């Protein structure tokens, strides 16, 4: 497998507007727009930073994964996403190496990217997302 770069950092926020006020108004990052991924019960907001992006995540429902994350750990860095050249190949290679996968098969995330998560129990506590964009 080949990791090309850090695609984005996923940051859980309780409120997208409040999150934007910091990342955009205070830090001065351009806001690229938001998108709701209904299946994940999340609204994402993107702020490009050089070759990568900051992705704010606001839950759309109290039982969504981001809401549950904030309940347990509070707001903050939720996942690190690496861009790979071939996500299917990466997942089978990692599986063969004994890495626990949350997603055995890629699903479609924000921006139409193919994404899959690795279990934090296999990554020393970091929720890692693999992401392939065409």
Which range touches Zn ion (CB under 5 A), out of 17-25, 34-42, 45-53, 123-131?
Answer: 123-131
Instruction: Using alpha carbons, list the distances in angstroms from residue 64 to 37, 41, 68, 70, 100.
Output: 11, 5, 6, 10, 21
In angstroms, rounded to a whole number, what is the distance separating the alpha carbons of residues 128 and 125?
9
Minimum CB distance to Zn ion smaller for 20 or for 79:
79
Total residues contacting Zn ion by CB under 5 A comes to: 3
Residue (33 or 98) nearer to Zn ion, CB = 33
Which listed range, 7-15, 18-26, 63-71, 85-93, lies at the site for Zn ion (CB under 5 A)? Answer: 7-15
Query: Phi and psi at residue 85, in whole multiples of 5°?
Result: -80, -30
10 interacts with Zn ion by CB under 5 A: yes
Q: Which is nearer to Zn ion, 13 or 98 (CB)?
A: 13
CB atoms within 10 A of CB 125: 7
Can you list the alpha helix ranges (DSSP code H) found in 1-134? 16-20, 65-73, 87-96
Closer of 10 and 64 to Zn ion (Cβ): 10
Backbone phi, psi, residue 127, to 5°: -75, 110
Question: Binding residue for Zn ion (CB under 5 A) from 12, 42, 54, 81?
Answer: 81
Other residues' Cβ atoms within 10 Å of the Cβ of residue 105: 10
The reply to whether 65 sits near Zn ion by the rule CB under 5 A is: no
Q: How far is the CB of 17 from Zn ion (least distance, A)?
A: 20
The binding site for Zn ion (CB under 5 A) comprises 10, 81, 129
């Amino acid at each position: 497998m080949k990791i090309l770069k850090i695609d984005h950092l996923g940051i859980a926020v309780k409120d997208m507007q409040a999150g934007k006020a910091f990342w955009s108004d205070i830090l001065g990052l351009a806001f690229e727009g938001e998108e709701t991924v209904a299946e994940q019960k999340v609204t994402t907001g993107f702020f490009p930073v050089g070759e990568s992006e900051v992705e704010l995540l606001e839950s759309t429902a109290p039982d969504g994964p981001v809401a549950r994350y904030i309940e347990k750990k509070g707001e903050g860095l939720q996942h690190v996403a690496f861009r790979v050249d071939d996500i299917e190949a990466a997942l089978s290679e990692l599986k063969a190496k004994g890495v626990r996968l949350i997603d055995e098969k890629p699903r479609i995330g924000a921006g139409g990217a193919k994404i899959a998560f690795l279990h934090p129990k296999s990554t020393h506590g970091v929720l890692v997302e693999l992401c392939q964009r065409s």
